Amino acid sequence: MISNNSFSSNRVGLRITSSPNNTFTFNNFLNEGFFFDGFRLYHYNTQSIDTSNYVNSKPVYYWKNETSGTVPNDAGQIILANCTNVVIKDQTINNTSIAVNIFYSSNIHMHENVIIDNLFHGIYLKNSDNITINENAVVNTKYYGLYASSQNENLTISNNNFSYNMRGVIIESYWCNNIVNNIFFNNTDYGCSVFALNNSITNNTFLSNENGLSVGPRENIVTRNFIKNNNLGIRISGSNNHIYHNMIIDNSNQASDVGSNFWHNGYPSGGNFWSDYAGVDNFNGPYQNIPGSDGIGDTNYTNIGGGTAAVDEYPLMDPLEYVSHDIVLQQGWNLISLPLEQPDESIDQALGSIAGKWDCIRTYDPLSPQPWKTNMTGRPEHLNDFDTLDHTQGFWINVTEPGGIILTVSGNLPNSTSIHLYAGWNLVGYPTLANETVENAFWGTGADVVMIGDTSEPYHIREVGTSYVMRPGEGYWVHVPFDTVWVVDGTGPVVAPGFDWLITHGYNLVSCPMDPVDKGGNGVFDSFDALNICHAVTNDDNMSIQRVANLSEPIEVFWWGDDESTAFPMDGVHGYRINLSALGTFLIHVEAVNYTDANASTVYVDAGWTLLGFTHNYTPWSRTPRASNFTDGSVDPDLWHVDLGGTLSKIVVTEWNLTTQKYNSYVVDTGFPGMPHKNWYWDFGYSAQPGNAFWLWIPQPIEITFDTDY
């Protein structure tokens, strides 16, 4: 027994190596903590550590052999051993040896935590599988932000910020891990290093690290990453790794290959965009010998170090513009499709943005003797019927979380797609971003019945008529009397489809990112129009739309406009608050067109707090705007250089969390005074969603112009 001790500032307070059956009580750690290591399960799950042990005046939570539960959010250190179905959420853990330890565990969900200033690693995984690490900030760790060693598999690491660590993420494990939509910024060694098999590393940003990304030994896919201003952009070792559709820009050394790998995805898909490629595009075809350009350079890109003579045979002349589309899903069954062609159609990758929030997805194959195909998250992979999501198919997906969640789909918008329809019923997708009536979309196919998902109906489906407008992201049941082919036009007429407000009981901050269509006939879209639109969906009279009259101190605001008869104009650069007393979550669709007035995206912001919108015309978007766009590129660049002692510590972006009815803030300095709510390090990966509103605090007046065609 080790009891009643005080440990201070040693980086590691107690290191327990391959030693089972110990008891620890009433120990206090200051700026350090427990450090466990071993090579058998019993080295981890036979300890006795109760909450009388404290790290930095907060309890240590050591859970062993637990089968469910959420760790209390006041932890000084977390240790899980042989646990399943545990949630780690809303923690702020700093100045301990290793903040979160997960050993021999499965189905652990870790999200929305701040792991900062820790003295060894931020997160340590060992011999664990099916771990989801989503929307965490892991910052300023002495060694590794996330370290996964020894036989980890099926890890999903998404939408996190790994910044100012020695290494952001290190994975030395088996296979099948997904690393998607993360930010790796200013790490002093590697942003991310993966030495494992069959991993997907997609849509991440590697910016200003000593080394951006290292991948090996084989069968890994690296695609759609933004790799810029690193000393070494990307290093590949081993064989049969596929690297394509990445943007590799202005690195001191662009790339290195010390194995035998593929730096393209064949023709006509192409390779990568290289900022230093000096070739021309006068020819097309697999051998680039047919007159006429195709967006691919006519000669190989050869500036790949490593001594293996690696080349990109199909270098892209311009960055590949992937389109993004958001699909709102409600708790329960939803009938959906993926409107875009995915570069990686695996279920884990395609549904990466909602990892841990669904449990079952089904599709229908009319040619199979057993047409219903099912994939369940808790089922062994060999028992699942399918593992990819084809953009031509429709899918039923069961969502496990309430409140409306967002599935973000990113990929290529196909010019056209041919879908085989077989006599009888077909469950199909709608691979386009065009809104089209059933009559026009299915013209010439002989389709006589079309049905959509509707959970209010007994069988969750409803027949629609020929005038029904089909929308991207919906799945459809289609009946045809004979075999035929349905050709979906992906290029035509893609027009501004308006925008959506996702509102729920309580307060909601919204904006008009596009120019809404006036409903009242007075030439402007005002709060009266907005109330009518919302009322048609929510059928609730106890609702108001308000705007800020003045500010007394941060976040404490006074409103006017509670009276529904008092209308005020609503534009794209200001934010507004909807107060809804009705229970439930509602998707409000607002008809709108692109702003044509150049001044519509410009706003003069006074010093202090301002409630802003996020003006953004429909292009469609090649990628989702992020919080960092408030301070580079899409706003006045002077905002980035505000003189506050050379720091950004007092530029803050704050958004309203519908679920918690609290603010989340994105700041550089967690010690910012006067903020009466949770502060986060600046989250460069936070998605600034058009249609939301945001509080911005700045120290001096400035004019901001949003790039509406970003």
Mean pLDDT is lowest, of 335-339, 363-367, 632-636, for: 632-636
Q: Please answer whether residues 629 and 689 qualify as being in contact, where contact means their C-beta atoms are separated by less than 8 angstroms.
A: no
The highest-confidence range among 77-81, 320-324, 400-404, 693-697, by mean pLDDT, is: 77-81
**pLDDT of amino acid 505:** 81
Neighbours of 701 (CB within 10 A): 10
How would residue 308 be classed by pLDDT, with cut points 50, 70 and 90? very high
Q: In terms of C-beta density within 10 A (0-12 exposed, 13-18 middle, 19 or more buried), how is residue 547 classed? A: middle
Residues of the chain by 3-state class (helix, strand, coil), percent to 5: 5, 45, 50
User: In 3D, which of 332, 412, 413, 398 has the Cα closest to residue 363?
Assistant: 398
Q: Which residue has the higher pLDDT, 159 or 310?
A: 310
637/372: higher pLDDT: 372
Q: Using CA atoms, how far apart are residues 75 and 395, in angstroms rounded to an integer?
A: 40
pLDDT score for 500: 76
Kindly state the average pLDDT of the residues 59-88.
Answer: 97
Residue partners of 83: CB distance under 8 A and separation at least 6:
63, 64, 65, 66, 67, 102, 105, 108
User: 380 versus 682: which is more confidently predicted?
Assistant: 380
- Peptide bond between residue 217 and the one before it cis (omega within 30 degrees of 0): yes
Residue 506 pLDDT: 80
Mean pLDDT of 549-557: 42
Pair 98, 118: CB distance under 8 Å: yes
The pLDDT of residue 627 is above 50: no
Alpha-carbon span 146 to 169, nearest angstrom: 5
User: Other C-beta atoms within 10 Å of 664: how many?
Assistant: 18
Strands (E), 521-595: 543-553, 556-560, 576-590, 592-593
Beta-carbon contacts of 561 under 8 Å, excluding residues fewer than 6 positions away, are: 527, 544, 545, 546, 547, 568
**Local confidence band at 638 (pLDDT 50, 70, 90 cut-offs):** very low
Query: Between residues 506 and 702, which one has the greater pLDDT?
Result: 506
Query: What's the mean pLDDT in 285-289?
Result: 93
Mean pLDDT of 327-340: 91
Residue with the larger pLDDT of the pair 681 and 70: 70
pLDDT at 422: 94
pLDDT grade, residue 690 (50/70/90)?
A: low
Position 687 confidence tier, pLDDT thresholds 50, 70, 90: very low
The answer on pLDDT for 679 being more than 50 is no
* Under 8 Å between Cβ of 262 and 241: yes
Q: Average pLDDT of 378-391?
A: 89
Contact 12, 97 (CB under 8 A): yes
pLDDT at 235 over 90: yes
**Is the predicted pLDDT of residue 676 greater than 70, yes or no?**
no
pLDDT: which is higher, 536 or 94: 94
Alpha-carbon distance 611 to 704, whole Å?
A: 13
Return the structure tokens found at 426: 């077909």
First-to-final CA distance of the chain? 61
Residue 414 has pLDDT above 60, yes or no: yes
Averaged pLDDT, 497-501:
71
Mean per-residue pLDDT of the chain: 81
Quote the DSSP letter at residue 43. Answer: G
Output b/e per residue, 39-64; b: 16+ Cβ within 10 A.
Answer: eeeebbbbbebeeebbbbebbbbbbb
Q: Assess contact for 497 and 469: CB atoms under 8 A.
A: no
Q: How confident is the model at residue 689 (pLDDT cuts 50, 70, 90)?
A: low
pLDDT at 642 over 60: no
pLDDT at position 710? 35
Q: For residue range 122-135, what is the model confidence (pLDDT) as tens digits? A: 999 999 999 999 88
E strand residue ranges, 41-177: 48-49, 54-55, 58-64, 69-70, 77-81, 84-89, 92-94, 98-103, 106-111, 114-116, 121-126, 129-134, 137-139, 144-149, 153-158, 161-163, 167-172
- Give the model confidence (pLDDT) of 659-670 as tens digits: 555 555 544 443
Question: Cβ contacts of residue 589 below 8 Å, gap of 6+?
Answer: 498, 499, 500
- Give, for 349, the enclosing helix (H) or strand (E): helix 347-350
Percent of the chain with pLDDT strictly greater than 70: 80
Percent of the chain with pLDDT over 90: 46
| Beta-bridge mates of residue 227 | 206, 248
pLDDT at 572: 75
The tens digit of pLDDT for each residue in 462-495 reads: 999 988 888 889 999 999 999 998 988 775 544 4
Q: Is the pLDDT of residue 230 over 80?
A: yes
Residue 564 has pLDDT above 60, yes or no: no
Matching residue, tokens 């607002």: 590
DSSP string, 269-323: T---EETT------EETTTT-EES--SB-SS-B---BSSS---BSS-BSS----E
Tokens representing 639 are 């905002």
Amino acid 552: pLDDT = 43
Q: Is the pLDDT of residue 634 over 60?
A: no
The pLDDT of residue 11 is 84
Q: What is the mean pLDDT of residues 302-323?
A: 89
Mean pLDDT of all residues in 250-266: 95
Tell me the mean pLDDT in the region 579-584: 80
The continuous run of DSSP H or E covering 534 comes out as helix 527-538
The reported pLDDT for the residue numbered 528 is 79
At 361, is the pLDDT very low, low, confident or very high (cuts 50, 70, 90)? very high
pLDDT tens-digit readout, 418-475: 899 999 999 999 998 877 889 888 988 889 999 999 888 888 899 999 888 888 899 9
- Phi/psi of residue 383, nearest 5 degrees: -95, -10
Residue reference for tokens 């992979």: 381
pLDDT higher than threshold 70 for residue 639? no
d(CA 201, CA 213): 10
What's the burial of 134, exposed, middle or buried (CB within 10 Å: 0-12/13-18/19+)? buried
